[in-house]
Amino acid sequence: MTESEVRDRAFAMPLTSPAFPPGPYRFVDREFLIITYRTDPDALRKVVPGPLEMTEPIVKFEFIRMPNSTGFGDYTESGQVIPVTFQGKSGGYVHAMFLDDMAPIAAGREIWGFPKKLASPELRVEKDTIGGMLRYGPFPIAVATMGYKYHPVHHDRILASLSAPNYLLKIIPHVDGSPRICELVRYCCEEITVKGAWEGPAALELFHHALAPVAELPVLEVLSGVHILTDLTLGLGTVVHDYLSDRRTVS
């Protein structure tokens, strides 16, 4: 294989059998359970990276079921998203994500910088309750429940929420262990169709774990629960801040 052929084929690792295909990535019947809660503002300030700014001491704990995903197949995801502002515009900072499928773990980390780790999330309906369970190894670290389809939610409100920009801290180390890429990335969901949205009484409990510290943003008060069914496309990202720009200029 020539150097030119390597460059032409170099999309993702490993070179001869990438862990995921090129995008775009379309999700059909993507289902969300989102519990919004109030947390400790001092704990939240410690995890929101500048130049993002914290708005309120609010966290959204999400369980996402993805049964039909281009290139990624059938998997489930869970994690925490923090409402923030960037240059005066509202959005969400993706703080932690846990999922059960290698392809979207690799793609999410390598392309956008999603903070993804391997775990075992679950989203399902049990009688009159929709619930989410997140395990890291055999240990439960999050349990969420909501009354099933208690009240419909206007689709315009959900569309506006899903269309808002999201931010990621992308970090890729150099071979000597120092950071080679350290960037703030913005992405948006696109081509969104809201198929259904409901709210209801909700509860969330978090458990401490040394390697999955979701409980470091404690639940002080549950504010709302929403259940959403959508189709959408995951848009590619834009670098909005380079933390190493001064170092690159000097070198």
User: Hey, which residues are catalytic here?
Assistant: 116
Residue 32 CA: distances (Å) to CA of 57, 61, 172, 179: 22, 10, 29, 34
How far is Cα 150 from Cα 198, in angstroms, rounded to an integer? 7
Burial 98-113 (b: 16+ CB within 10 A, else e): bbbbebbbbbbbbbbb
Per the DSSP assignment, residues forming a β-bridge with 149 are none
Q: Give which of 188, 167, 169 is closest to 93, Cα–Cα.
A: 167
Question: 């959403």: which residue's tokens?
Answer: 228
